Amino acid sequence: MSQYYYLVSSLPYLYFDGNAPLEEETFLGMAAARLSSRDMAILHATTLAANPGQVPPTPVHRSWQHTDAGLRNELARLRAGALEMDPQSYVKRDGDGRDWSELWQVAETALSAFNHDSPLRAEELLSAFRWSVLEQLEVGHFFDIERICLYYLKLQLLWRKDRFDREAGLKIFQDTYETILNDFYNTED
């Protein structure tokens, strides 16, 4: 596997509490200038969300997707249980029947987020957990394509976090709340 010393060393350091220092186009342009076409295809296939029909391009990405799938499945169980619905109809399993929710700290993280009063704070907890998983996956990867893919996943987390807008979220909540109240109190029953 190729080593990309210059690219990795030229990338800005990422902090979970910071903003994304690069736009997606800038990062992909930097990568395209240094990566082989094969590795660039791997990078383009690297996403936070799992694509059920796609085999993850690298072992690190496979580990990432397993952990994220476990977290999503555990959240689905908790949410379905709270609504008194069958959780198994919302749990997604892989070809071997695994749902990956038994992985390290998945259940604890999902429960903490689920029990939080603030949806924004719950999302921050989930993002912090995902960030820590990506940092653990970086161990042993210094200048290879997997390190660049992990960097790209971290950037995707930061871009997502940067899009959170407290005021816009509060307005959406208030509009939804008013709609529910109006629908409830304006019924003909």
Distance of CA 27 to the CA centre of its chain: 18
Residue with token string 């970086």: 138
Query: Considering the entire predicted model, what is its pTM?
Result: 0.83
pLDDT tens figures, 149-168? 999 999 999 999 988 866 76
Single-letter amino acid code for the residue at 111: L
Q: What is the mean pLDDT of residues 19-33?
A: 96
pLDDT tens figures, 88-139? 888 888 878 888 888 879 999 999 999 999 988 999 999 999 999 999 999 9
**Cβ-defined contacts of 61-65 (< 8 Å, 24+):** 61/146, 61/149, 63/137, 64/133, 64/134, 64/137, 64/150, 64/153
pLDDT at 38: 95
Question: In total, how many domains does the chain have?
Answer: 1
Q: For residue 163, give its domain range.
A: 5-185
